[in-house]
Amino acid sequence: MAIYLPELTADPLWFPPLHSTLKNPDGLLAMGGDLSVARLHQAYRSGIFPWFSDGDPLLWWSPSTRAVFAPGELQLNRSLRKYQKQQQFHYSRNLAFAQVIAHCAALPRRNQAGTWIVGDMQQAYLALHQVGLAHSIEVWRDSQLVGGLYGVVIGGLFCGESMFNLQPNTAKLALCMLQQQLSGYSEGWIDCQMPNPFLLQLGVQPLPKAKYLKLLQQLRDAPVPTTAWEPAVLEFH
């Protein structure tokens, strides 16, 4: 069955109204356009994100349900705190953004062939990082990067894009460190886009689109201190 998708114009600030998203596949909104900093920033501010595979057209999504971690949801329990001390992990922000996104792109995903973080996507998020909109959390063991995540900051909301782990639990540790990092200047909301079994196990909340958009509207213009994401070594409190 053929579907009609509106194509984005040259105006980086224009997207179709969100009520026009498809129900099947859920949340598909538009195609085309580009991955410029201005368009991506407008997309995230509007509750939209790009997601497509290599060889596919550029697709834009706003699904009916969003996966969100509420403030304080991600905590180090006793066993995880003990484990991370035993492994002598250490943590940082924005010290290895390019490495994190490269690891996320290279990591095999269950039931997926290839990667959705294609070369154009990597370059787009590197550009967002250079202008202070995209950030990373890194987990290290000695001098080796063993886990991490990256995403886009929109005011008081962190829009997570991808994560990886090369040792058990390092992606979860990165998420816990992320929420601690966010709580230093905001409430600590994390948008993970779409629910999956791993995120649900960690306590992510499926949020209907209407509630998510209301939350986004409340958070997107919150101030972010200029020092909040300066490259730094981090420690759990």
Q: Where exactly are the structural domains of the chain?
A: 18-63, 67-234
Q: Tell me if domain 18-63 and domain 67-234 are identical in fold.
A: no
Q: Which CATH topology does 18-63 take?
A: Alpha-Beta Plaits (3.30.70)
pTM (predicted TM-score): 0.94
CATH 3.30.930.10 matches 67-234: no
Sign of CA pseudo-dihedral 12, 16, 19, 22: negative
Residue carrying the six token digits 């079994």: 197
Token pair of 151, please? 């995403």
pLDDT 10s digits, 182-231:
999 999 999 999 988 889 988 899 999 999 999 999 999 999 999 999 99
pLDDT for 110 beyond 50: no
Measured between alpha carbons, how far is residue 212 from residues 21, 116, 181, 204 in Å?
15, 24, 22, 13
pLDDT given at position 182: 97
- pLDDT confidence band for 1 (50 / 70 / 90): low
